[in-house]
Amino acid sequence: MIKGVSRQIIELKDTGSLYYEKAWLVVKPQYASAQESLLLEEARKMLRKADIPSSMKPKRQIRQYILPALAASFIGALVSFLLWLIF
């Protein structure tokens, strides 16, 4: 709830993101008198750093889990075989 507070808001219509259509950013009062071009550039920088929501991130693929497990199993089997040959 806002009670008679005047805030400067920047609206970016072109966010450059597949997921976000618009962004509204509230400018801190101490920077409300800054140049508009500077504020817009800072807003764009911040939006470029923004990531997609975690629920929309692709799940890790199975091969990212299976390949290291297979490699570890192979190395363990190889070491066991070499120790069996030696002793």
CA distances from 70 to 10, 23, 66, 81 (A): 52, 45, 6, 16
pLDDT of residue 1: 47
pTM of the model: 0.49
Q: What is the tens place of the pLDDT at every residue in 50-71?
A: 766 666 666 666 677 888 899 9
Write the pLDDT tens digit of every residue in 2-28: 565 667 888 888 877 777 788 888 888
